[in-house]
Structure 1
Amino acid sequence: MRLDILNHGYRPATRALFTLIRVFSGRPLPDAAKLTFYRPDFYGARAKRFTHAAMRGPSAWSVADRELMAAYVATINESSFCIGAHTATAAQAYGDGAIVDTALSDLDSAPIADGLRATLRMLGKLTRDPNAVTPADMRAVLASGVTPEQIRDALAVCAAFDTTARLADAFAFDLLTSEGYAAGAKFLLARGYR
């Protein structure tokens, strides 16, 4: 159920900022960004810091790999808004949408590294049922060449986008056009999640 607060629950200065963004970009601010401006002290500021660190902070995973993780978690959660946003961002980051499309539709045949494949499998299992992940699952990821630090980084991506996907669905975020997702992806790759 879409809450009217996403359309009108902002201070005048924030509404002016939204207008400026629309004027200069030619597009309205996506609901995911709007939500971070509503009660920023409660959710928005913390969410932006955590998500930016997970997605753009130091990591052995590339930005493209982390965006693919976000798209994969969104796909498991069946969150249309997040699937569109992070599929577009991962495709731009890799410079190849076919890699992303294949990973999301048939992980076994995707042209990605075995460590990333094993990590995505584990994230998928975790997203479906947090209690189902076992030490054997984590040993399988480690055996694929992924380091404990990479597992930690992947878990941070999963946490950020499990939360975002649930909010997107709970608040019925408006879906964007393919051009809107592409523009958002360009912005995320240039500026991150701040």
Structure 2
Amino acid sequence: MRPEVLNHGYKPVTKLLFATIRLFSGRSLPDAAKLVFYRPDFYGNPAKRFTHLALRGPSTWSVGDRELMAAVVSQANGNAFCIGAHTATAEQAYADPARVQAVLTDPDTAPIEDGLRATLRLLTKLTRDSTVTADDIRDVLAAGVSRHQIEDALAVAAAFNITNRLADAFAFEVLTPDDFAAGAKFLLKRGYQ
């Protein structure tokens, strides 16, 4: 059940901002963006900072890699909103929709590097089982992934395990492919701040 607060629980200045965005973009603000405006000091601002750092901060993973990680974690959680949003963003970041679709269909046969494949397996296992072992980490290291890259990937997983649960709790509306594509363009330009 969608809490009414996501539709109407905002201060007048925030409602005006939403109306202005709709006027200039021709689109309503997605529920993920609306959520960060509700109690911004409690959730919104810290979540934006953490997510931006995880997906756009310094890393040897590309933006496309990290957006793909977000899509894979969201797929493991079965969250349609975040699958759509981060699939579209990864497709644009890589400029290769077929590659992203191949990973989401079968990461074991997808045309990706072994280190990314091993990392996606780790994130999927962590998301589904809520645990990983030392052997799981060793497998990722053996595939050529550095400890720092593992930490960066785990930050993406943390951000999206939280976001996926909030999207489920607040019953985020799943957007059209055009709206997801427009959101992806914005995320690639501005990030999560």
Q: Which position in structure 2 is the counterpart of 1:166? A: 165
Q: CA RMSD in A?
A: 0.5
CA distance in 1, matches of 2:135, 2:122: 10
Q: Which position in structure 1 is the counterpart of 2:189? A: 190
Q: Deviations over 1:146-187 (max 9, x none)?
A: 000000000000000011011111110011000000000000
CA distance in 2, matches of 1:160, 1:137: 21
- Structure 2: where are the runs of 5+ without partners? none
Q: CA deviation at 1:55?
A: 0.3
Task: Return the letter of the residue paired with 1:52.
Answer: H
- Structure 1: where are the runs of 5+ without partners? none
Summarize the alignment of residues 63-102 of structure 1 with structure 2, pairs less than 5 Å apart. 63-102=63-102
CA distance in 2, matches of 1:38, 1:12: 12
Q: Which position in structure 1 is the counterpart of 2:136? A: 137
CA distance in 1, matches of 2:66, 2:17: 29
Q: What secondary structure sits across from 1:108 in the alignment? A: coil
Q: Which position in structure 2 is the counterpart of 1:39? A: 39
Find out whether 1:49 has 2:49 as its counterpart. Answer: yes
Q: Which position in structure 1 is the counterpart of 2:10? A: 10
Q: CA deviation at 1:130?
A: 1.6
Q: CA deviation at 1:139?
A: 0.3
Task: Return the letter of the residue paired with 2:179.
Answer: G
Normalising by structure 1, we get a TM-score of 0.99
Normalising by structure 2, we get a TM-score of 0.99
Task: Return the letter of the residue paired with 1:166.
Answer: R
CA distance in 2, matches of 1:109, 1:91: 18
Q: Which position in structure 1 is the counterpart of 2:153? A: 154
